[in-house]
A and B are shown apart, each in its own frame.
Chain A
């Protein structure tokens, strides 16, 4: 039977742009270009490698996000994923991590899956919790933060480099995996891939397709509220000296003045 892989990808504001918040304290997505979260490219890459090693596999990329999030799906399709699902609904505006995981889990169940692959964290929210939440919701093992991953005979194995130790992990499918940016460079879409992606199916689902109510998601359904967002004041300009042979000593003088030595 075919190995059904669902890759979750997030559409995020470009980190090198001038990111800021809208009046309702959600992320302003109008003034900054969006793109596929770079860390999710690693998830797509590992899905492609796992699919290449399997006899028969199908990769579905899934995003929950606004209209433009289709760009993220197109990128993943042009890298080689087979089809895409876009969950889009005006009521999703302002959804928090708990709500996002609910929508993703419902969509993953509806799509059918043996393996879910996520990125290690998004580049905007950067929470690093959605894969663990998906594991909890779907009732399947979490094999997360892997810098190496393989699937064989219905078992997923991988290496998780933690703070205190590097661990070898193993779980039976179905499972939720997340991969780090150490898992291997993501491929660039080829011209052929970009052309092929235009013909690949992209399904659009809204909340009613997932049997979800508006109150369960969005700003109203959120379990968290942001009360304020303030731009961090620019750091006051420091002293900059040019090394004329005494730079190290001048720096030591500064550090001594600050009581570091």
Chain B
């Protein structure tokens, strides 16, 4: 069976959920061979094996942390040359897309970004993309070279599928371009203890209607009662009420949770671009004409300062 290269996104060996989803998709096309780079790479093997990786190629070097993107491209290319895979799958993070694009160019292939689904097809894998702010769904293929495809979080279920997951050291020699862009400082993002925005099953977002940074505690309280991540509209971020890392939309994160709750958000096209593929959408807005209501499964026309705390209380009460 053909092998499919899967680029592993991990934090010191802890495999992030989108990579496990990629393994589900990779198994539709062939046998997943994972590539894990950097500090803790070998510790990824157990989780990857549980989810179907037949092999885990690992390599660690200081270059991965000290220089931007290119060392990882060099390593992924080395893995590509060793395995000759039927396809290369990469998580659709900002960095993942850059790595994938450079690899595609080097190996004479095309690139498809932000796939939301993937199936095997007669002429190679078929990727589904959700485009124009999720108003269209396209199906595309790579016509030349080995398909390189980046896949968005929440595009497939994580499925256990035990496989060997044999760890093999990957031989990597860095190109002279690898050290072009130096990382001179790094401030890790503070953990909030809440789920990762792009990976969360439930996202609770606030917009301009929340009116202040302090008031975001109302949104956070609802999120915490549901075990959800917190999102914000650009209006709320630009006002300085919530960090940009939590922005949902075209220039923020794109989310596709089971449940999206929008409070005090009008539903501009650029916001919808980042949340329209959510399974269930709920909105609270005092303006019955707000465009967000065109998307909802359930909407409450009302003041969020009344509705949201009452909802939080009710959720807590039902949890008992």
Give A residues with C-beta under 8 Å from B.
15-16, 19-21, 25, 39, 96-98, 101, 120-121, 123-124, 126-129, 131-133, 135-137, 139-145, 147, 157, 160-171, 175, 180-182, 222-232, 234-235, 238-243, 245-252, 254-256, 258, 260-261
Given contacts A165-B186, A224-B141, A247-B302, A141 and B102 within 8 Å (CB-CB): no
How far, in whole Å, are A157 and B140 apart by their CA atoms in the complex? 37
**10 A-B pairs with C-beta separation under 8 A:** A15-B270, A97-B111, A129-B101, A132-B98, A161-B244, A163-B189, A165-B186, A235-B296, A247-B310, A248-B306
B297 adjacent to chain A (CB < 8 Å): yes
Given contacts A164-B189, A241-B301, A248 and B308 within 8 Å (CB-CB): yes
What's the nearest-Cβ distance from chain A to residue B11, in Å?
6
- List residues of chain B with CB within 8 A of the CB of A124: 132
B188 adjacent to chain A (CB < 8 Å): yes
What's the nearest-Cβ distance from chain A to residue B230, in Å?
15
What's the nearest-Cβ distance from chain B to residue A31, in Å?
13
Could you tell me if A227 and B301 are in contact, using CB atoms closer than 8 angstroms? no
Could you tell me if A133 and B101 are in contact, using CB atoms closer than 8 angstroms? yes
- Which of A39, A147, A166 contacts B186 (CB under 8 A)? A166
Interface residues on B, range: 35 or more
Nearest B residue (CB) for A39: B251
Nearest B residue (CB) for A253: B314
Nearest B residue (CB) for A42: B251
Given contacts A127-B97, A258-B280, A260-B258, A166 and B189 within 8 Å (CB-CB): yes
Could you tell me if B110 and A123 are in contact, using CB atoms closer than 8 angstroms? no
Nearest B residue (CB) for A257: B298
Nearest B residue (CB) for A223: B110
Could you tell me if A248 and B318 are in contact, using CB atoms closer than 8 angstroms? no
- List residues of chain B with CB within 8 A of the CB of A96: 110
Could you tell me if A15 and B269 are in contact, using CB atoms closer than 8 angstroms? yes
Nearest B residue (CB) for A246: B310
How far, in whole Å, are A39 and B139 apart by their CA atoms in the complex? 26
- List residues of chain A with CB within 8 A of the CB of B309: 248
Given contacts A169-B181, A240-B301, A248 and B314 within 8 Å (CB-CB): yes
- Residue from A126, A163, A228, A235 having most chain B Cβ neighbours under 10 A: A163
B114 adjacent to chain A (CB < 8 Å): yes
- List residues of chain B with CB within 8 A of the CB of A243: 300-303, 306-307
What's the nearest-Cβ distance from chain B to residue A75, in Å?
19
- Which of A39, A132, A229, A252 contacts B138 (CB under 8 A)? A229
